Structure 1
Amino acid sequence: MFWSLILNVCFISHCKFASSHIKEGLIMEQDPESRESIENFTTDYKIIRTLGRGRFSVVKMAYHVPTLTCVAIKVLKNTEKCSSVMSREVDILKSLGHPHIIKVVEVVQTREATHLVMEHASQGDLLDRIRECGYLKSWEARRMFRQILEAVQFCHDNNIVHRDIKANNILIDGRSNAKLCDFGLAAKTLPGQKLIDFCGTLPYCAPEFFEAEEYEGRPFDVWSVGVLLFFMVTGHLPFLGKSFAEVRRQISSANFSIPPHVANDIFNVIVEMLMINPSRRPSIQQIMMRPMIKDSQAYSPPTSIQTFTGTPSPSIIKAMRVMRHTPEKSTESLIDQNINERTLVFIMK
């Protein structure tokens, strides 16, 4: 029973913010739960559908009516436990403005729930990307991994440790750029400061997590990023087993094997990051100096605002008619984004 629960947390309960482009009639076919939740939210947003569920939250895809913008909304009920989790996540995300960290647009409080409105990543998450193609090609892995490292380094430089870095917490925007998300388990900590609380996803947890009563957050993140890189270039996790004890045993002994197709520069970084002794793992800043990361710079397109171009599709015009917008005003709204202080900058493609 316990192992079943762990598997559910690790592999099934993914809060996926992203989705494909809005299909014809999608807005017209909102699920009942979505319609019910919006009644106590705000008329600025129209909930389209549920994207995923976590232990404490539900994530919905929504439409910002004034700007015709697709967003993701993380909803937590206002219980004592959920409120503290959301408050911590909101505080941390508001302090971390970075191109490769998911952007918070606003927080809307109602009597029943807290709504965290975030930018929408239109290409899904990294877990789905890897599942679709088996594993990432070396050039794509280098480019995306560099972006993930930049996000994690920015967190560490600002005394934030994420503690739940994994493939489904990396979103992919319309330009195929990585976005680190879900800071529900993140913590503010100074270098060398010890942490004691349980967190994370089992296959990504560092060995010291099982062996000591306290651990440092930064080396923990480095280990998780190493597991993520392994997954990106092989298509499977390095530590798997039929029981909690078996997975823990593999992690504690760093028992993994890297397939021969993995390039040497990537191989070397994985081995460095998956050192059993946390003091022997390089910092994120040191990893950024490795040839694998330096060579990836050529593959990094400039990050820029996603803007609407061209003529709106019939599905968008149909949706806007329901919202009492004329076709002309729909087009104007998409092109002219000077609306109000809450205008969103990531426009749905």
Structure 2
Amino acid sequence: MEEGFRAPPLGSAAAGPEPPVPRSENRTPGDGRAGAGEGRSGAVAGPGLSAESRVPPAGKAQEALQERYRLGSLLGRGGFGSVWSATRLSDGAPVAIKRVPRDRIRHWSELPDGTSAPVEIVLLAKVSCDCAGVIQLLEWLELPDSFLMVLERPERCQELSDFLAERRFLPEEEARGLFRQVLEAVRHCTSCGVLHRDIKPQNIVLDLASGQLKLIDFGCGAFLQDTAYTQFAGTLAYSPPEWTQHQSYHGEAATIWSLGLLLYQLVVGKHPFRRGQEIIWGRILFPPRLSQECQDVIKRCLSMQPSDRPSLKELFCHPWVQGAPRP
């Protein structure tokens, strides 16, 4: 496949430098599964592909992929794989192709048709419908040493982290609109039984043409559960204090914490906690320009006690998030 694309092997040293911000730190370890069949593939119902576009199995899979996509530049590489830009030859649509080496896959699950696949593929298949705020999985392919995911890619897009670096911080009105989009995407994921577990500016891309945000990288994701999680996955700088203190967390409360950090970064331009001790003690500094309503949202989300944080529904209904006028 790599030779046909006339590019360095995905994930090889020749492929390019590591991205400046790690994409997949502290991923949850788990049970791998060896001996899966080679050349399996699947198409996901959604924009741009039909059920008839499945990749042929076994040895023809790589050749078929070469015939349908032209590989472009390396977009990023982290501990759990590489992401390349590509173009779908049938209609010129831009896509991204993510390659995850088989030996780095720790968790497996089943698709609705009973096919065994990495959890990331199963989670993406669950959320890839009816939500513009979540990146769409178009199809996937199993190779002897890796899995490939073909994902939608807006033609003009930028990571939210880079967008913020250029702007420093956003006015509250602009931040509110983007934050509401993230909330909608997260609510969609939870309604599908999916927990992202790594919400941060580096895992959100902005379509510069439409202003639409898209949540990406479900490599740390898990199935939503009511009981506590006792293994961490994601980025430690975005972990809630209950993980630091007790090595466990509940999905919604941890998500609210990460959303509070995200909103702070949108309106202030930096992470509120620079050292672990500050996270434990919850010291938050706000610039005077921030409204009390915006500060209230952040303070509630970053409550040290998980039970003091709002639910997703309560957060969405907060007057600042809704843009309600001041009394």
Per the normalisation by structure 1, the TM-score is 0.70
Q: Cα gap change, 1:58/1:40 in structure 2, threshold over 3 Å: closer, same or farther?
A: farther
Q: Which residue pairs with 2:46 in the alignment?
A: none
Correspondent of 2:150 among 117, 141, 148: 117
* Structure 1 counterpart SS, 2:150: strand
Please say if residues 76 and 83 of structure 1, whose CA atoms lie closer than 8 Å, have aligned partners that are also in contact. Answer: no
- Tell me which of 255, 259, 267 is aligned to 1:225: 259
CA deviation vs aligned residue, 1:139-189 (integer Å, no higher than 9, x gap): 210001001011111222333221110001111123111111111111113
Identity of aligned residues (%): 30
What's the counterpart of residue 232 of structure 2? 198
Partner Cα separation in structure 1 for residue 169 and residue 243 of structure 2: 28
AA aligned to 1:91 is: V
- Deviation by residue 1:323-343 (Cα, 9 ceiling, x = unmatched): xxxxxxxxxxxxxxxxxxxxx
Distance 1:249 1:80, change over 3 A: closer
> More strand per residue: 1 or 2?
2
Query: Which residue type is aligned with residue 53 of structure 1?
Result: R
Residue 291 of structure 2 corresponds to residue 282 of structure 1:
no
Q: Which runs of 5+ in 1 are unaligned?
A: 1-8, 16-37, 241-246, 297-349
Which ranges in structure 2 are unaligned for 5 or more consecutive residues? 1-17, 25-61, 110-116
Per chain length, whose mean CA-contact separation is higher, i.e. which structure has more relative contact order (CA < 8 Å, sep 6+)?
A: 1
* Rounded Cα–Cα distance in structure 2 between residues aligned with 1:189 and 1:71: 28
Preserved CA contact (<8 Å) 2:19 2:77: no
Q: Residue 220 of structure 2 aligns to a residue in which SS?
A: coil
**What secondary structure is seen at the aligned counterpart in 1 of 2:170?**
coil
Q: Is the 8 A contact 1:56 1:82 kept in 2?
A: no
1:72–1:118 CA contact under 8 A, matched in 2: yes
Q: Which amino acid in 1 is paired with 2:22?
A: S
* 1:111 Cα deviation from its structure 2 partner: 2.2
> Secondary structure at the residue paired with 1:12?
coil
- Post-superposition offset of 1:265: 2.0
Please identify, of 211-220 and 78-87, the stretch whose mean Cα deviation from structure 2 is larger. Answer: 78-87
What letter corresponds to residue 117 of structure 1 in structure 2? V
Question: Contact 2:272–2:285 (CA<8 Å) still a contact in 1?
Answer: yes
**Offset of residue 282 of structure 1:** 0.2
Q: Which residue of 2 aligns with 1:261?
A: 289
- Check 1:131–1:118 CA distance in 2 against 1; reply closer, same or farther (3 A cut): same
> RMSD of the alignment, in Å?
2.2
1:44 is matched with which residue? 68
**Counterpart amino acid of residue 66 in structure 1:** S
1:95 alignment partner in structure 2: 126
SS of the residue 2:158 aligns to: coil
Q: CA deviation at 1:11?
A: 6.3
Secondary structure at 1:286's aligned position in 2? Answer: helix
SS at match of 2:72: strand
If the length of structure 2 is used for normalisation, what is the TM-score? 0.74
Query: Which residues in structure 2 correspond to 1:95-174 (within 5 Å)?
Result: 95-96=126-127, 97=129, 98-121=131-154, 122-173=156-207, 174=209
2: distance between equivalents of 1:261 and 1:117?
43
> Do the aligned partners of residues 42 and 253 (structure 1) sit closer, same or farther apart at CA in structure 2, a change above 3 Å counting?
same
Please tell me whether the aligned partners of residues 23 and 79 of structure 2 are also in contact (alpha carbons under 8 angstroms): no
Match of residue 293 from structure 1 = 321
Once residues 63 and 283 of structure 2 are traced to their aligned partners in structure 1, the CA distance between those partners, rounded to angstroms, is 52
2-structure distance, mates of 1:202, 1:258: 23
